[in-house]
Amino acid sequence: MKPSKEKFTITYKGKTIELPVYHGRQGPDVVDIARLYKETGLFTYDPGYRSTASCKSRITFIDGDKGILEYYGYPIDQLARNGNFMETCYLLLHGELPTSVQYEEFNEDIMKHSMLHEQIVKFYSGFRRDAHPMAVLVGVFGALSSFYHEHMNIDDPVFRNRATVRMLAKMPTIAAMAYRYTLGWTFVDPRGDMSYAGNFLRMCFLNPMYEYEEDEVLSRAMDRIFILHADHEQNASTSTVRLASSSRANPYACVAAGVVSLWGPAHGGANEAALNMLKEIGTVDRIPHFIERAKDKNDPFRLMGFGHRVYKNYDPRAKVMQQTAHEVLKHKGIDDPLLEVAMELERVALSDDYFIERKLYPNVDFYSGITLRAMGFPSSMFTVMFAIARTVGWVAQWREGITDPDQSIGRPRQIYLGPTMRDYVPMSERG
C-alpha cells in the first residue's frame, strides 16, 4: 500500500505538517496519523473508532451507503444463494473460492477434527444446569488452549493452519453440547458424512430413540445464516479478536475474547431483541401505536432490527434472510403471527417518510430471530449460532493480523479528566 500524491495538511500552534493519504481498493481515503503525536503533541479523539481504520485488510468490504457487503469481492447475496458455508470459509481463509479438490480436502479436514476430547466433555458438568449457553461456550472454547498448547508458535504457519481447523471444527460441537446440557439431554457426537450445518442441527436435535433424517430445507437455511454472519469487517467482536491477538495471545483465547464481545446485547443479541420487540407488539393492529411510539423521542421504545451502525441503505443480508424465513416457515407449516407482524411492520416502515428520511431499513437481525425460532431454537441460543458463524471471520482476521508486518500491540490513548498531581496525606492527618 503506497501513499497517494495528495497530502493531508494540519497546522497547530504555528507548525504545519503533511500527513500521507492512502487509497484502498474501495471505500474512503485514509489519513495516516502515526506521526501526529510525535510532531504536534496531539492525539485524536474518536469514541467507538467510527472514523478510525485500525488495520489493513483484504477480507471484507462494506459500503454502508450503497448497501454492499463483499467477501474478497464476492457479493454476500451471491455467496448465500449459490454457495455453501464450507466454501465461504475457504474463501475467507484463503482469498479464493476452492476448486472441487480443495473443497473436498478442506471439508474432510474440518469434519475429521470436530470431535471433542473426553476430558473437555467433562467440563460441562461443572456448569450450573441453568447457565446461559453463551457462558458455557466462552468457558469451554477458551479451555481449548489448555488441550492444544503443544508447539503453540503463532509464527509457524503449520500451527496456524492446525489451530484454524480445530477452531472451525470444534465450535459447533461445543455449541450443540451447550444447548443439550441446558436441556438435560445426552450429548451427540458429530458425524463426518453430513454438511457442516446439517451436522450441527443433528447434534442439537437428535432424539436417540429415533433415527435422524436430515432436513435439507432447514440445513440450507442454517447454512445461509452461517454465511450471512461469517464476517462483517472490523465490528466490536472482530476488533476484540484483533486487539487480543496484537499481544500475541494464543488463538483460542483470542476467539474466546471475541465470543465475550459478541455476547453483548448491542452486538450479537440484536436478533433476540428484535424478536422480543415483535412479541411486545403482538398483533398487526397494534403496529400504528408502536410506530408512533418509535417516532416519539421521549418514549424509550425503539424499533429493533431496523437501521444499522454501518448500513445507511438496505442491509444486503436482510433480503436473503427474508426469503429464508419464508422458506422455513412454509416448510414447517408454521403460521407464525410474529412473521405477519414483521411483514406489516416492514411495509409500514419502508413507506413512512420518518423512517425513509432516516434510512431505518430492516437489517439481518429483523428476520433471523423468527427463522431460528421456527427451526426450534430458544432465544438463548441465537447468539451462540452467531458465534459459530463468526468463528471463521475471527480466525481469518486473526491470521491476517498475525502475518501483517505493520501490526503492533494495540494501545489506544485517552483524554484524562481526573485530578492533577497531588501529594499523599497520611491517614492520621485526613480527619
What domains, with CATH codes, occur in the chain? 3-63 (2.20.28.60), 65-412 (1.10.580.10)
Question: What's phi and psi for 129, nearest 5 deg?
Answer: -65, -30
What letter does residue 362 receive in the DSSP assignment? B
Give the pLDDT score at 265.
Answer: 83
Query: What integer is the mean pLDDT of 152-157?
Result: 90
Query: What integer is the mean pLDDT of 183-192?
Result: 94
Higher pLDDT, 203 or 212: 203
pLDDT grade for 269, boundaries at 50, 70 and 90: confident
Task: Give 272's contacts (C-beta < 8 A, 6+ positions apart).
Answer: 265, 369, 379, 382, 383
Does position 410 have pLDDT exceeding 80, yes or no? Answer: yes
Order of all β-strands in the sheet with 60-63? 60-63, 68-71, 74-75
365 is catalytic: yes
Candidate list 215, 223, 231, 365, residue with the active-site label: 365
State how far the alpha carbon of 257 is from the alpha carbons of 244, 245, 252, 408, in Å: 7, 10, 9, 18
pLDDT grade for 357, boundaries at 50, 70 and 90: confident
pTM, rounded to two decimals: 0.90
pLDDT grade for 61, boundaries at 50, 70 and 90: very high
What letter does residue 186 receive in the DSSP assignment? P
Convert the pLDDT of each residue in 209-253 to its tens digit: 888 889 999 999 999 999 999 999 999 999 999 999 999 999 999
Give the pLDDT score at 1.
Answer: 62
Give the pLDDT score at 220.
Answer: 97
pLDDT grade for 4, boundaries at 50, 70 and 90: low
pLDDT grade for 70, boundaries at 50, 70 and 90: very high
Among the residue ranges 85-94, 220-229, 375-384, the one predicted with the least confidence is: 375-384
pLDDT grade for 141, boundaries at 50, 70 and 90: very high
| Torsion, CA 40, CA 247, CA 390, CA 27, rounded to 10 | 20
Give the pLDDT score at 270.
Answer: 83
Convert the pLDDT of each residue in 28-58 to its tens digit: 888 888 888 788 888 888 888 888 888 899 9
Candidate list 130, 308, 315, 352, residue with the active-site label: 308
